[in-house]
Amino acid sequence: MPLALPGRLDRFTHLFSPHANGFTLTDSASISSSLPTLRVAVIGGGPAGLMAADMLAGAGPAVSVQLFDAMPSIGRKFLLAGRGGLNLTNAEPPEVFMRRYGAQGAPLLPMLAEFGPAELRAWAEALGIETFVGSSGLVFPKDMKAAPLLRAWLHRLRASGVQFSMRHRWLGWSEGGGLLFSTPAGPVQLQADAVVLALGGGSWARLGSDGAWVPLLAGRGVPVAPLQPSNCGFDVAARPVATAAEPVETRRDFFKELIGQAPQPAAGWSEHFSSRFAGQPFKSVALQFTDSQGRSFSRRGEFVATASGVEGSLVYAVSSLLRDEISAQGSATFLLDLLPDKSPEQVLVEIRHPRGSRSLSSHLKSRLNLDGIKAAILYELLGKDEIADPVKLAAGIKALPVRLVAARPIDEAISSAGGVRFEALDANLQVMVPADLRPPVFCAGEMLDWEAPTGGYLMTACLASGRAAGQGVLRHFGRQVSRQPGGA
């Protein structure tokens, strides 16, 4: 019998719930009987899962596609990503675009060659969504919104025969190889001929990407790299407080040292800085970082001070290097150029200019237009002697060391790194380790072991890998795709 949806759902649930379009949730017996011929279960209702379902539905009525998701409605993270403007992809040159995925993402490149930025824009326009390229090269829907695209896409999938079962949380496999789900009405078991897993990473658990699939796959012997925060913020090292007393070692510190755990360094801005500047942006700055392995990053942009550290687009772009350095060395220090349009010599000349009775703060504002959060971080991170010395102050303005000691928790991150290792997959994205996994399992999206910066790269790779996984299922069973996703 149909399952009742709870009364308190967000405003998107009505728009994107299968119940609003004539679909109902059913028990295991009726689900099994409604999947004749090649029965494919797609688990996960994000972009990768929807694209896999789209490809599978393109094979026609001989393939029956059922999509399951633990949430009450489809595409919640997708909708949230579009709240400030849905960045679909990036229009930069292909060779530059491909480099954004790094060495870890090399297995994605053949998929992106087949479904890259140009193909993604054509796919969106086939769904009736016009796109445009912004001044920074980012590609957006013409109306900037995610909801119209998702609505058109779901309409197309339903018309193609894709069935949706919401509030079905995947629990793994039964002894007989069936797929186990928990639902509000109780446990459900499904037999399928193939499974596409597109369960996301570990960020934004409240929207469905909670990483709960990791122990399910690892328990069956599938190699999974630990999930880590990506495109994330960081905590800064706390400013040392001078004290005459010797530091007191606590009992907790003693036992941590006894078992080989290094004590966590103190983190966070001073109360003075945090209370006045948390949430404010550092605009028109440059960030330079070189890790202990010699890998370098240098770019202009902007980021934001948080209550305990930093976050934002410029920080996200280097977050993988910073995270790995902290993991290996305990901290990572980047150099912040507060005035990238001025040379060190120009800055020093202006600082040395006679200031008369004016305060140093007024002098910096007058001569270098340096005030607000940019001036405040100098006083936060430089000592009194450095502030008083024109040479050291100029050096700090051009290359201020900002030491980070911890990445923010994965649930706060925009995306995650880690996941199913590519060496466990074949060219069709089918899990081959272990070899006896039945029914055949294919993986796509952010649950694969790759990461990329923000700027349209995440969305493009999720869609491209979902497309590849759907094609992989069809190739595995010798089926043909009768149309491309988004086509007529």
State the pLDDT at residue 348.
Answer: 98
Residue 448 located in a structural domain: yes
State the pLDDT at residue 251.
Answer: 58
How much of the chain, in percent, has pLDDT values that exceed 70?
A: 86
Would you tell me the crossing angle of helices 344-352 and 390-398 to the nearest 10 degrees? 140
Check residues 43 and 28 and name the one with the higher pLDDT: 43
- 421 and 379 part of one domain: no
What is d(CA 297, CA 136) in angstroms, rounded to the nearest whole number? 19
State the pLDDT at residue 1.
Answer: 34
Please determine, for residue 32, whether its predicted confidence score (pLDDT) is greater than 60.
no
State the pLDDT at residue 82.
Answer: 81
Give the pTM.
0.85
What is d(CA 256, CA 234) in angstroms, rounded to the nearest whole number? 23
Give the end of a domain, one of 350, 384, 407.
407
What is d(CA 7, CA 184) in angstroms, rounded to the nearest whole number? 14
- 194 and 305 part of one domain: no
- 258 and 150 part of one domain: no
State the pLDDT at residue 24.
Answer: 34
State the pLDDT at residue 94.
Answer: 95
State the pLDDT at residue 241.
Answer: 53
Is residue 117 helix, strand or coil? Answer: helix
- 345: exposed, middle or buried (C-beta count within 10 Å: 0-12, 13-18, 19+)? exposed
Which residues does residue 267 pair with via DSSP β-bridges, in sequence order?
237
Residue 378 located in a structural domain: yes
Which residues does residue 225 pair with via DSSP β-bridges, in sequence order?
419
Q: For residue 274, give Cα distances in angstroms to 284, 287, 380.
A: 21, 21, 10
Q: Residues 315-331: what's their mean pLDDT?
A: 97
Check residues 346 and 488 and name the one with the higher pLDDT: 346
Residue 308 located in a structural domain: yes
Q: How many domains does the chain have?
A: 2
The domain in which residue 130 lies consists of 12-229+416-476
Quote the mean pLDDT of the chain.
89
- 335 and 431 part of one domain: no
Please determine, for residue 13, whether its predicted confidence score (pLDDT) is greater than 60.
no
Give the tokens for residue 31.
Answer: 């689900």
Please determine, for residue 413, whether its predicted confidence score (pLDDT) is greater than 90.
yes
Is residue 13 left, alpha or beta, with left meaning phi > 0 and alpha meaning psi from -120 to 50? alpha
For the domain that residue 21 is a member of, what is the CATH number? 3.50.50.60
- 388 and 452 part of one domain: no
Give the end of a domain, one of 386, 407, 428.
407
Q: What is the pLDDT of residues 206-260, one digit of tens each?
A: 898 999 999 999 999 999 999 999 999 999 999 765 444 445 555 555 555 566 6
State the pLDDT at residue 479.
Answer: 87
State the pLDDT at residue 488.
Answer: 41
State the pLDDT at residue 258.
Answer: 62
Q: What is the pLDDT of residues 168-199, one digit of tens each?
A: 999 999 998 999 999 999 999 999 999 999 99
Rg, the chain, Cα only: 26
Residue 485 located in a structural domain: no
How far is CA 217 from its chain centroid?
Answer: 21
State the pLDDT at residue 10.
Answer: 37
- 225 and 238 part of one domain: no
What is d(CA 282, CA 311) in angstroms, rounded to the nearest whole number? 10
What is d(CA 260, CA 362) in angstroms, rounded to the nearest whole number? 50
State the pLDDT at residue 400.
Answer: 98
Q: What is the pLDDT of residues 146-169, one digit of tens each?
A: 999 999 999 999 999 999 999 999
Q: Residues 16-45: what's their mean pLDDT?
A: 56
Q: Residues 261-278: what's their mean pLDDT?
A: 84
Check residues 406 and 27 and name the one with the higher pLDDT: 406
Which of 361, 380, 369 minimizes the C-alpha distance to 277?
A: 380
State the pLDDT at residue 427.
Answer: 94
State the pLDDT at residue 163.
Answer: 97
Q: What is the pLDDT of residues 277-286, one digit of tens each?
A: 999 999 999 9
Residue 487 located in a structural domain: no
- 131 and 77 part of one domain: yes
Helix runs in 175-308, H state only: 213-218, 251-258, 271-277
For residue 485, say if its preceding peptide bond is cis, omega within 30 degrees of 0.
Answer: no
State the pLDDT at residue 28.
Answer: 36
- pLDDT range class, residue 12, cuts 50, 70, 90: very low
Check residues 28 and 472 and name the one with the higher pLDDT: 472
- 341 and 436 part of one domain: no
State the pLDDT at residue 36.
Answer: 54
Please determine, for residue 20, whether its predicted confidence score (pLDDT) is greater than 80.
no
Residue 356 located in a structural domain: yes
Check residues 480 and 25 and name the one with the higher pLDDT: 480
Residue 6 located in a structural domain: no
Residue 271 located in a structural domain: yes
Q: How many CB atoms lie within 10 A of CB 203?
A: 24
State the pLDDT at residue 252.
Answer: 55
Give the end of a domain, one of 361, 379, 407.
407
- 163 and 58 part of one domain: yes
CB 394 within 8 A of CB 302: no
Give the tokens for residue 212.
Answer: 């709960």
State the pLDDT at residue 484.
Answer: 57
Q: Which of 244-253, 289-298, 420-429 has the lowest mean pLDDT?
A: 244-253
- 298 and 392 part of one domain: yes
State the pLDDT at residue 25.
Answer: 37
Q: Buried b vs exposed e over 265-304: b needs ≥16 C-beta within 10 Å?
A: eebbbeeebbeebeeeebeebbbebebeeeeebeeebebb
- 162 and 238 part of one domain: no
- 239 and 261 part of one domain: yes
- Which contiguous run of DSSP H or E holds residue 391? helix 390-398
Please determine, for residue 297, whether its predicted confidence score (pLDDT) is greater than 80.
yes
- pLDDT range class, residue 19, cuts 50, 70, 90: very low
Q: What is the pLDDT of residues 452-468, one digit of tens each?
A: 999 999 999 999 999 99
Q: Residues 339-358: what's their mean pLDDT?
A: 96
